[in-house]
């Protein structure tokens, strides 16, 4: 029931925010902020209660679930369930949701009500994706994210946003439809084999497809997830969409929407198509490593701050692919942690770019420079997140990337080494952000933007605390999601003896406390 | 021999015929637009009420008609659509300077033709109802005879429809020559199993051409955009929905009962037509600036999607097609309803540019139109998605993966122009045209239609269960 409450608060809050804007713009802002804060507290409440439940063991896997019939003629149900992974992602969603409302507090002045309606419904779609346990329901939420996102992008975006919105919508729509074909194929495959025509995730897991069919079905899912993540060569919508969106849109699309794809890989692709996924592992790792390096290169070459950040996201998302397709516990933990850490750091960078844009009215890096003098506070915060982006130990991103690379190393050392290069090249573009904005000699008409106000302090302060705290105590997140991973690890073992061996090694490593070690390393540094 | 029981089965059709006569006589006595409109509405409502009361079983009425669940369903759908079009017509024609009352006679007759076509079980009854429908439509399309463009469209439709009918007649004649039968059951017994001979194949090919014209499938689609853009919005809605739906149902009945799709060359012919309709319909829609032409191309591609359900050649395929027809009717009626709503004495807002900034001046209307566009594009939580999902499922069940991929790819092309309309409504340029003097402002009927279709499009998209139950699936 709590799950429906979460969705209802967002959707109801969205409608309320829209209506209330007719009377007062501020009311609309407060309503959406309040809705998100309530949701965050609900999730934290579950998280805290979950701490006790974890020790119970087996039953702790699914924290909450609801299941109603929706379209029984097709075996479609309204089935939501939450496990540790969903919990972590929801906390991230609401946290960043609050920040994106706060960031838009001043700079969204047109149609405030409709803006907050869209933001809240967008977040509701994302929440739904993290909770849906029925394939059709998942698809519905997956697609429903698009429409509000399109509106946010086109109405409140920068000059070229119409084109960006178009491209974004088409890329995601066509890949989504391919996933729909896969889902329907899965439905018939399962129905033909068992006589039970259903879209229920758990029932589908009972009889997972094999052979060439599973490869094609997985293809549809992969296409949808690779486009949204994105991975080379499906990334061409990314720079426009990220750069042309208003700041709230950029935060949500980069920090949350791309995570729905990563979540989809862990939740659906690996358990439903274990054999096919294993066969696809090497190409996927190559794609992932290529994304890491190519994204870093493109990022380094950008003049527009938001585009620079956008390409850095492409680079970081490569790590997620590498992690997912390494098929071991360490890498999976790393992927989950990367979803959180990257969500925080990319959101922070976009927020900084927004603050700069508000002050000087441009995102062109050549127009910036020497801002450290006038805005030391902003400079300090930027430094933290630039360091996070380049993977400085002690910050959350380091833990995530370390875990992924450690996992990938066991799977394929060569490609892991290639991916590791990403950590080095990330230094180049990350430091370039700092250098261009704050240290290079100022442009001819010297600008002296004012430093942070309390609202901006609040936003950046929250993010900084979160990213440092997670850098030192990654266990907080990993422990919550661990039961879910434990359960999942049972699935892909099975047929392939070599793979089973790897899995066994990992769980051995894991029980020997690699995680604890890495955490300690973080602390030592 | 026609029995009383037979008459009771085709009572809805009889009521329609009587309704046309009553309206005609009334006009002779007393000319009043409102009363003619009201009588037409009553005719449709009574026919619908009788239809609902009928048993949902398969009954043959002489050799000519077969009243089965599919026929009853389509009759109901056509009557509902005709009812909505009549409601839409009143405010639309009320401000015209033409003589208005005869319009309703033609409307009832055209509906009668369509209804009879959807329960036809014999070549003769099909051709007769086809002619009844077409001849009424010539007059309807050119009804605003002061507009040159309407008259031109009427003549164009006259010629095209005549050619199509002659193709169909010639095809039927060839089939008759070979088999000696004209009723579908007899043909089915004759043709099922064995390889059809060359005469039958030639006849079927000619018939396919004729049906292609009627349903505006590529490459027989060329008349559609001209007719849609020139005809009055309610008539265009009629041509796009009722006339195509009726033709489709007879096509379905015809080819399913003779097992025509088992024959590979026929299946391939249809698959090519469907693929071409999906791609070319969506492709040609891309550059359109005229919203009625845009809807015309959209409807071409939608008929292509519908053919995927037809080509599944299964029980599920029939159901999917029937459901898709409902969705398609609702979407197209809503689109034309919107145009009618915003039209005024100066004419209809036919250019996409006319809608610039609509989101900010009339948010509710724009929200409705956005929903219609998203539904036509097939975005989840709208009726259009459920229809597409149903068709995809039936196609996947029959293993026609190729057609499904074509459907997915082409519908993404279509998304371009649907989004363009939405984006135009969203943009807030200074040049935003304000539509001030429009008929929807005063017309309660139009407001009801728009609200009802809005709810229907959402309801079918979010919770179609009750509808499935109603359809008796």
Kindly report, residue by residue over A212-237, the tens digit of the pLDDT.
888 889 999 999 999 998 898 888 89
The Cα–Cα gap between B218 and B383 comes to 25
Which of B423, B471, B472 is best to mutate for the A interface (most A CBs within 10 A)? B423
Residue A45 has pLDDT above 60, yes or no: yes
Lowest mean pLDDT among A439-443, B80-84, B296-300, B335-339: A439-443
What is the arithmetic mean of pLDDT over B123-141? 94
Q: How far apart are CA B70 and CA B80, in angstroms?
A: 15
Pick from B381, B392, B465: CB nearest A72? B465
Contact A170 B379 (CB under 8 A): no
Asked if pLDDT for residue A21 goes beyond 80, the answer is: yes
Q: Is the pLDDT of residue B29 over 60?
A: yes
Chain A's closest residue to B472, CA to CA, is A73
Asked whether B79 and B326 are in contact (CB, 8 A), the reply is no
Q: pLDDT tens, A364-419?
A: 888 888 888 888 888 899 999 999 988 888 899 999 999 999 999 888 888 888 88
Supply the DSSP symbol for A327: -
Chain B contact set for A181 (CB, 8 A)? 392, 396, 401, 404-405, 408
DSSP A241-261: HHHHS-HHHHHIIIIIIHHHH
Confidence (pLDDT) at A52: 55
Name the residue among A363, A360, A365, A361 with its Cα closest to residue A350: A363
CB atoms within 10 A of CB A406: 22
Burial of B402 (0-12, 13-18, 19+ CB in 10 A): exposed
The pLDDT assigned to A320 comes to 92
Question: How far is A1 from A80, CA to CA, in rounded Å?
Answer: 9
Task: Please calculate the CA angle B43-B47-B53 and round it to the nearest 5 degrees.
Answer: 150
List Cβ neighbours of A471 (8 Å cut-off, separation of 6 or more): A388, A393, A394, A395, A396, A397, A398, A399, A522
| pLDDT at residue number B304 | 94
Q: Which two tokens stand for residue A484?
A: 């879910």
Min Cα distance B410 → chain A (Å) is 9
- pLDDT more than 70, % of chain B: 97
Q: With contacts defined as CB-CB under 8 Å, which chain B residues touch A160?
A: none
Between CA A250 and CA A160 the distance in angstroms is: 14
Specify the pLDDT at position A53. Answer: 58
**Interchain contact A173–B (C-beta under 8 A):** yes
Strands B59-61 and A64-71: unpaired
- Are B397 and A74 inside 8 Å of each other by CB? no
Mean pLDDT on A446-450: 74
**Residues A266/A391, Cβ–Cβ less than 8 Å:** no
Q: Which two tokens stand for residue A422?
A: 């990403």
Distance CA B211, CA B411 (A): 23
Q: Give the pTM.
A: 0.89
Taking CA atoms, A416 is separated from A116, A280, A293, A322, A330, in Å, by 42, 16, 12, 8, 13
Query: How many C-alpha atoms does B47 have within 13 Å on its Cβ side?
Result: 31
Tens-digit pLDDT profile for residues A406-430: 999 888 888 888 888 888 888 888 8
CB contact under 8 A, A185 and B468: no
Mean pLDDT (whole number) for B371-378 = 92
User: Are residues B393 and A150, on separate chains, in Cβ contact within 8 Å?
Assistant: no
Name every residue whose Cβ is closer than 8 Å to that of residue A380 and which is 6 or more positions away in sequence. Answer: none
Chain B residues in contact with A71 (beta carbon < 8 A): 463-465, 468
Q: What is the mean pLDDT of chain B?
A: 89
pLDDT by residue (tens digit) across A82-104? 888 898 999 999 999 999 999 88
Q: Can you read off the two tokens belonging to residue B471? A: 């359809």
Mark yes or no for CB contact B379/A146 under 8 Å. yes
Is B298 in contact with B376 (CB distance < 8 Å)? yes
Which pLDDT belongs to residue B432?
Answer: 57
For residue A485, what pLDDT is reported? 79
Contact B412 A180 (CB under 8 A): no
Beta carbons of B423 and A162 less than 8 Å apart = yes
Nearest to A170 among B360, B405, B415 (CB): B415
Residue A184, chain B, CB below 8 Å: the answer is yes
Residues A517 and A465: their CA atoms lie apart, in Å, by 23
> Is A174's CB within 8 Å of B409's CB?
yes
CA nearest neighbour of B111 among B83, B138, B139? B83
Q: What is the pLDDT of residue B114?
A: 96
> What gap in Å lies between CA A73 and CA B358, rounded to an integer?
39
3 state SS of B114: helix
The dihedral of CA A301, A306, A310, A316: what is its sign?
Answer: positive
Q: Check A154 against B423: CB less than 8 A apart.
A: yes
Residues of B in contact with A184 (CB under 8 A): 389, 392-393, 396
Stretch B404-420: mean pLDDT? 90
Q: Which two tokens stand for residue B151?
A: 């008259």
Residue A151 sits at the chain B interface (C-beta within 8 Å): yes
**The two structure tokens encoding residue B207:** 């018939």
**Contact check, Cβ <8 Å, B426/A154:** yes
Residue B338's contacts (CB-CB under 8 Å, 6 or more residues apart) are: B365, B368, B369, B372, B450
B423 and A166: CB-CB below 8 Å?
yes
Which residue of B374, B392, B409 is in closest CB contact with A147? B374
Confidence at B48, pLDDT banded by 50, 70, 90: very high
Interface with A, mutate which of B376, B380, B413, B472 (most A CBs under 10 A): B380
Interface size between A and B, measured as CB pairs under 8 A:
68
Query: Residue A58 burial by CB count (10 A; 0-12/13-18/19+): exposed, middle or buried?
Result: exposed
Interface predicted TM-score of the whole assembly (ipTM), two decimals: 0.88
């Amino acid at each position: 029931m709590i799950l429906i409450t979460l969705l209802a608060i967002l959707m109801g809050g969205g409608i309320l925010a829209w209506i209330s804007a007719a009377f007062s713009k501020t009311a609309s802002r407060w309503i959406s902020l309040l809705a998100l804060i309530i949701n965050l507290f609900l999730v934290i409440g579950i998280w805290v209660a979950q701490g006790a439940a974890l020790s119970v063991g087996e039953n702790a896997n699914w924290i909450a679930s609801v299941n109603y019939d929706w379209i029984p003629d097709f075996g479609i149900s309204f089935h939501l369930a939450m496990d540790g992974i969903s919990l972590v992602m929801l906390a991230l969603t609401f946290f960043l949701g609050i920040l994106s409302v706060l960031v838009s507090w001043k700079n969204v002045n047109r149609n405030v009500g409709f803006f907050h309606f869209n933001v809240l419904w967008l977040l509701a779609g994302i929440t739904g994706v993290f909770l849906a346990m029925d394939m059709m329901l998942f698809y519905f939420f997956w697609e429903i994210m698009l429409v509000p996102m399109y509106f946010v992008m086109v109405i409140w975006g920068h000059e070229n946003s119409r084109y960006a919105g178009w491209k974004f919508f088409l890329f995601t729509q066509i890949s989504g439809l391919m996933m729909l074909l896969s889902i329907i194929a899965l439905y018939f495959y399962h129905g033909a084999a068992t006589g039970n025509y259903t879209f229920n995730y758990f029932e589908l897991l009972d009889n997972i497809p094999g052979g060439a069919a599973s490869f094609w079905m997985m293809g549809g899912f992969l296409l949808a997830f690779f486009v949204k993540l994105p991975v080379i060569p499906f990334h061409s919508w990314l720079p426009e969409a990220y750069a042309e969106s208003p700041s709230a849109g950029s935060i949500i699309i980069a920090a949350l929407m791309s995570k729905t794809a990563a979540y989809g890989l862990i939740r659906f692709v690996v358990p439903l198509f274990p054999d096919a996924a294993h066969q696809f592992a090497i190409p996927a790792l190559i794609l992932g490593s290529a994304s890491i390096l190519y994204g870093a290169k493109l990022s380094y070459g950008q003049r527009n701050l938001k585009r620079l950040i956008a390409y850095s996201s492409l680079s970081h998302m490569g790590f997620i692919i590498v992690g997912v397709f390494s098929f071991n516990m360490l890498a999976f933990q790393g992927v989950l942690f990367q979803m959180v850490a990257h969500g925080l750091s990319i959101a922070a960078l976009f927020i900084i770019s927004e603050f700069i844009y508000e002050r000087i009215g441009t995102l062109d890096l050549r127009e910036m420079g020497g801002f450290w003098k006038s805005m030391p506070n902003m400079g300090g915060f930027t430094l933290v997140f630039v360091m996070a982006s380049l993977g400085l130990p002690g910050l959350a991103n380091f833990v995530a990337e370390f875990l992924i690379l450690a996992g990938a190393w066991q799977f394929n050392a060569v490609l892991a080494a290639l991916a590791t290069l990403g950590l080095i090249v990330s230094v180049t573009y990350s430091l370039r952000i700092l250098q261009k904005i704050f240290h290079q000699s100022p442009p001819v008409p010297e600008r002296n933007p004012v430093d942070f106000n309390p609202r901006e302090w609040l936003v950046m302060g929250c993010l900084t605390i979160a990213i440092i705290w997670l850098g030192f105590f990654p266990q907080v997140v990993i422990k919550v999601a661990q039961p879910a991973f434990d359960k999942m690890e049972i699935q892909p073992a099975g047929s392939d003896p070599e793979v089973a061996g790897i899995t066994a090694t990992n769980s051995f490593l894991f029980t020997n406390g690699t995680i604890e070690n890495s955490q300690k390393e973080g602390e030592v540094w | 021999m026609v029995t009383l029981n037979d008459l009771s089965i085709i009572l809805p059709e009889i009521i329609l015929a009587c309704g046309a006569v009553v309206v005609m006589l009334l006009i002779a006595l007393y000319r009043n637009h409102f009363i003619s409109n009201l009588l037409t509405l009553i005719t449709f409502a009574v026919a619908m009420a009788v239809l609902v009361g009928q048993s949902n079983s398969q009954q043959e009425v002489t050799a000519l008609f077969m009243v089965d669940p599919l026929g009853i369903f389509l009759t109901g759908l056509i009557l509902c659509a005709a009812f909505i079009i009549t409601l839409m017509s009143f405010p639309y024609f009320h401000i015209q300077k033409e003589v208005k009352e005869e319009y309703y006679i033609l409307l009832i007759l055209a509906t009668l033709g369509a209804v009879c076509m959807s329960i036809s079980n014999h070549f003769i009854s099909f051709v007769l109802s086809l002619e009844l429908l077409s001849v009424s439509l010539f007059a309807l399309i050119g009804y605003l005879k002061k507009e040159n463009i309407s008259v031109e469209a009427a003549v164009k439709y006259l010629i095209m429809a005549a050619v199509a009918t002659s193709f169909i007649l010639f095809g039927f004649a060839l089939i008759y020559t070979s088999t000696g039968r004209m009723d579908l059951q007899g043909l089915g017994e004759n043709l099922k199993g064995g390889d059809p001979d060359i005469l039958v194949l030639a006849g079927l090919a000619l018939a396919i051409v004729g049906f292609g014209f009627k349903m505006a499938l590529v490459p027989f689609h060329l008349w559609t955009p001209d007719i849609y853009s020139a005809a009055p919005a309610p008539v265009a809605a009629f041509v796009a929905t009722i006339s195509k739906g009726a033709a489709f149902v007879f096509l379905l009945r015809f080819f399913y009962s003779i097992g025509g799709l088992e024959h590979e060359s026929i299946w391939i012919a249809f698959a090519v037509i469907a693929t071409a309709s999906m791609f070319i319909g969506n492709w040609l829609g891309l550059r359109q600036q005229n919203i009625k032409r845009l809807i015309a191309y959209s409807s071409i591609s939608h008929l292509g999607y519908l053919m995927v359900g037809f080509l599944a050649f299964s029980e599920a395929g029939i159901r999917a097609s029937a459901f898709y027809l409902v969705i398609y009717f609702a979407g197209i009626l809503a689109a034309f309803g919107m145009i009618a709503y915003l039209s005024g004495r100066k004419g209809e807002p036919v250019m996409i540019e006319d809608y610039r900034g609509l989101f900010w001046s009339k948010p509710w209307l724009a929200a409705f139109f956005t929903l219609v566009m998203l539904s036509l594009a097939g975005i989840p939580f709208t009726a259009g998605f459920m229809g597409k999902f149903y068709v995809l499922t039936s196609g996947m069940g029959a293993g026609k993966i190729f057609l499904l991929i074509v459907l997915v790819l082409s519908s993404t092309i279509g998304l371009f122009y649907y989004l363009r309309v939405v984006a135009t409504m969203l943009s807030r340029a200074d040049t935003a045209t304000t539509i001030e003097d429009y008929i929807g402002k005063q017309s309660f009927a139009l407001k009801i239609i728009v609200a009802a279709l809005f709810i229907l499009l959402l309801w079918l998209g979010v919770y179609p269960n009750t509808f499935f139950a109603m359809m008796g699936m």
